[in-house]
Amino acid sequence: MMKSHSLLLALFLTLLIGCSTTPYTGRSQFMLVSEGQEVGMGEEAYRHILRESVLSNDPEALRIVRKVGERIARAANKPDYKWEFRVVNDPEMVNAFAVPGGKVAVYTGILPIARDEAGLAVILGHEVAHALARHAGERMSQGMLVQLGGVGLSAALGSNPQLANQVLQAYGVGAGLGVILPFGRSQESEADRIGLILMAKAGYDPRVSLEVWERMEKKESGKDRGSPPEFLSTHPSYETRTQQLKSWIPEALTFYQPVERNLEMLPSPQVLDSPTAQAERELLKRIQAVNKQAGDPRGERAVVEALGYSLRMDPSVVYQERQQFRVGYGQYAALRALSSFGRAPLRRIVTDYESGVPWSQLSESHGARLSDLISWMGELRRTASSIQSQLRTQPFAPRRLR
């Protein structure tokens, strides 16, 4: 009984101190996460996502994205944020995100939806609004509140491995239905409203947003599976969104001061793509496939044994070494293979990887070909799958790395 009363008292005190207000809309928020904690986890999520992506260094694409992004950042007026704008080379990914702390990424697949810098301002304004309104912290706080019933306030606020993944989930990594949805529909609508104001303050016409979301609707409706129903989506339906935008545009127009007449067009994803980028994306898919297989105990055992046979290593050494480097089995396999192909020290390769060197450069600088690494990862995946299906039936001798 006393434990229950203590928990209720802690909850009451938390409710008193754990509230904040969103800018522009004035909505009250329940917060159990400090802004500093939120920024720290956001930047960790950002590094993780970019490490597992293919970045574009095209100077023209980066220049326009940074031009628009910096204007939006000035409008957001968060000088304590360390703003950074990157472009991810993935023509199939129609997405962008901004994490707490001001780190922003734009996937090339969304550039045809944006078309020009004003359309990009719609998208960046929306994403920056999520960070400005602390939506990720709000979602984490909601998840922590759910956990309070089982683990108590102090445990929920302390070391909890689940919380480390919640910012990643907030940006689509492992997201699903329930409390780990990227953002709620009310938060998406709020980001639309704040985003209109931010783009208007940055000098872009907020009325452009209607055209952008119309193009997005056509893109989504053209998919084989169609758009999800509103109650299963993290975004409002397009009809709802359009109605809301029309009601908010007059408010945003009061902040609008045009900065220039001629808007720059965005480059196409096809122009920005390259054979090297395509190869890196294929390698990342194979790395992720190995990680997925190792996600359960039997699959993990199969992957460890496949790596041991293929690399001529004791499986127990594979298991311990992978833990030591704190990377997924897929990343470990690719790094180990590079070391074997090029006869370079594994630790040096891991250091380069952790510093953000792309896989294509890792391969080249350590005496290997990216195409060979891709082929080997595919063979490893097939070997691990065979081991997994035959573990309890018959001995298996997979091919070794040569």
> Residues with catalytic annotation?
127
Token pair 């480097």 is at which residue? 325
| Residue 266, CA atoms < 13 Å, CB-side half-sphere | 26
Show the CA angle centred on residue 355, arms to residues 353 and 357, nearest 5°: 55
Token output for 334: 């690719």
Instruction: Give, in order, the Cα–Cα distances in Å from 235 to each of 104, 128, 133, 221, 271.
Output: 20, 16, 16, 14, 30
CA angle 136, 139, 145 (to 5 degrees): 140
**Which two structure tokens, joined as six digits, stand for 298?**
């039997």
CA torsion sign for 81, 87, 189, 176 is: negative
User: How would you classify residue 378: left for phi > 0, otherwise alpha for psi between -120 and 50, otherwise beta?
Assistant: alpha
CA–CA gap between residue 95 and residue 100 (Å, rounded): 17
Report the distance separating Cα 88 and Cα 242, nearest Å: 28
